Amino acid sequence: MLQILARGGGDAVRDDTFSERLGTIPHPKGQEILVKVLATSINPVDTKVRMRTPSSTHVVLGHDTNGMIVDTGEEVTRFKKGDHVYFMGQGKYPGSFAQYQLADARTAALTPRISSYAEAAVLPVVTFTAYDALFTRLGYISAGYANTGKTILIIGGAGGVGSMAIQLAKWVGLTVIATASREETVDWCKDMGADFVITHHGDLVDQVRALGIQWVDSIFCTTHLSAHWEAMAELIEPQGAIALIDDPDGPLDIRLFKTKSARICWEFALVRTMYETSDIQMQGFTLTKIAQLIDSGKIRSPLTETLYGLTVRNVQKAHIRQESNTMVGKQAIIISP
């Protein structure tokens, strides 16, 4: 099978960053499924993994998969050959920039019925991250209009995670303030359902207060954590909650949140598979719920760009676009027609 390798290292994408390799198709065991990859996507985690991998090492990246099961391990009962599934990859398996991929069946779900290959491929990482942040970390009720009267500030609303967080927050009744900095990203956030859009290049506190809102019940920071740390401390409601996914530039003063008794938590979508937690099956259950929301029209895919073919050029192009910090929504790569 064809795989695209990424050379590790902290430098920007170069002509020799990616290369082709012919690998052996693996055989699933136990709870594993073998999937023919139909489409994949690009996430910030892919660029971070590549940059953090030693320069002498090559890895197969790709954390989003939409594909068809071609074989199953002896312990798999939820799926059968021919099922179309989508899932997030995990570190112990090579990624989805390949024609075939192994996965843990407990982390997969049937693909949304109404989604194209590309539309489904961009969903797993960003939608699971947003869902887990809102309903596991921030503690909101995962049901339509169940949180009416509560306000959330989503910093970085036009990215993949922000796009899905806006939609999920509106589905459950939250008033959403999103941040964006360009005309196209402002329009995108409004299209996703944001009630208000402010610029993260301006003073967040002044802009939120100008809306007539003193404090927000919760904050979901998806980008530039260090730059917004003090503003978040000022804007969070006493006893409010904050979820973070972006890495800080350096040490931060957590004492700023003490008098608010604010709850601060990290959201890392791959925690369950990385540590084989007892609730690993929640990955599959959550993606099943997300598929139901897609099929019922409650939320939609954040797909904005599609590339065709598993090639070095396409993977390189997608990574350069991802690392440009101008991406709106998400990109997909169609691997099998």
CA gap 185, 200 in Å, rounded: 11
CA gap 99, 37 in Å, rounded: 5
280 shares a domain with 207: no
CA gap 301, 294 in Å, rounded: 8
What percentage of the chain exceeds 70 in pLDDT?
100
Q: CATH code at 62?
A: 3.90.180.10
User: Tell me, what's the pLDDT at 137?
Assistant: 98
- Is residue 96 within 8 A of residue 108, CB to CB? The reply is no
Number of domains in the chain: 2
**pLDDT tens-digit profile of 226-274?**
999 999 999 999 999 999 999 999 999 999 999 999 999 999 999 999 9
137 shares a domain with 207: yes
Q: CATH code at 200?
A: 3.40.50.720
Q: What is the mean pLDDT of residues 115-128?
A: 98
User: Tell me, what's the pLDDT at 11?
Assistant: 81
User: Tell me, what's the pLDDT at 40?
Assistant: 98
- Whole-model pTM: value is 0.96
Q: Is 271 contained in some domain? A: no
What percentage of the chain exceeds 90 in pLDDT?
92
Here the tokens at position 31 are 């709870």
**pLDDT tens-digit profile of 152-198?**
999 999 999 999 999 999 999 999 999 999 999 999 999 999 999 99
Q: Is 156 contained in some domain? A: yes
Q: Where are the alpha helices (DSSP H) in the chain?
A: 44-52, 117-121, 124-132, 160-171, 183-192, 204-210, 225-235, 271-274, 282-295, 312-322
71 shares a domain with 147: no
- Is residue 86 within 8 A of residue 124, CB to CB? The reply is yes
User: Tell me, what's the pLDDT at 212?
Assistant: 97
237 shares a domain with 166: yes
% helix, strand, coil for the chain, step of 5? 30, 25, 40
Residue 175: is it exposed, middle or buried by C-beta count within 10 angstroms (0-12/13-18/19+)? buried
The band of 296, judged by pLDDT with boundaries at 50, 70 and 90, is very high
56 pLDDT higher than 80: yes
CA gap 269, 283 in Å, rounded: 9
User: Tell me, what's the pLDDT at 9?
Assistant: 86
Q: Which domain holds residue 324?
A: 2-123+276-334
